[in-house]
Amino acid sequence: MSCLIIVDVQNDFMEGGSLEVKNASEILKPINRLRDRHNFDMVVLSKDFHPLKHVSFASTHANKKPFDTVKTKSNSPQLLFPDHCVQNTYGSEFNKKLKVLESDTIITKGMNVDVDSYSAFFDNDKLSKTPLDNILKKNSIKNVYVCGLATDFCVSYTCLDAKSLGFNTFFLKDASRGISTESVEAAIKKMKESNINIIETEDLIRSTSKNL
C-alpha cells in the first residue's frame, strides 16, 4: 500500500509569495503527471497553517528580521521567516494549478503559535504530532513518496520522520524544489545516509507502465 505526500504546495511558497521558493512552479507538472499516471492508495497534502504572531514570523519579535534566529519557549532555536501561510489567507491556499481531489487527505501543521512544524508528522520540538502517522498506519500504508516545498526544510523533515516511523520512504527529487543549492545538497546527503530512496517521478510512471 502506497501514499503520495505532497508537502506545502501553497501560494506563499510559490513565485511571488511572501516566502517564495525559486522555480517552485516547476514541480506542478511532474506532480500532476504522476497523479494522472500512477495509482496511489492514498494521497496526502500537508498545509502550513499558521496563526497570527506565530513564533516563526520575524514580525512577532522586536528588532528581528527574516533569517535571524531566536529561542522558543522550549529553548529550541527557531529560524525566523517573513509572515507566511497565515490561516485563511490566499497565501495559505494550495496553488490552483496543483491537482487536488476531494478524496485527498489534508494535514494542517504549524498551528501552535509557540512552535514551528516543518515535518508533516511532528512539530519541530517533537512534543506534538499531527494525525498523519496514525492515518497512514490505519490504512496499512507501507511505502510513502514525498515531494513538494521546500526540499531543504519541510520535505526533507517529512522524509526523515517517515523513515524513523518505519515507512519505506522515497524522495521525489524532480517534484521538489529548495531554498538554496547548498542546503538542498546537505538535505539530500542526510536523506541518503538515512536510507531514504532518491528517485524521479518518471521512475514510478515507468514502473506503472510495465505493470499494465
Catalytic machinery residues: 8, 109, 154
User: Which residue in the block uniquely carries the three cell numbers 528517485?
Assistant: 199
CB 78 within 8 A of CB 56: yes
User: Which residues share a beta bridge with 88?
Assistant: none
Q: Under a CB-based contact definition with an 8 Å cutoff, are residues 155 and 147 in contact?
A: yes
Closest CA to 188 of 202, 174, 206, 205: 174
Strands 143-149 and 168-177: parallel
| 60 closest CA partner among 76, 83, 78, 79 | 83
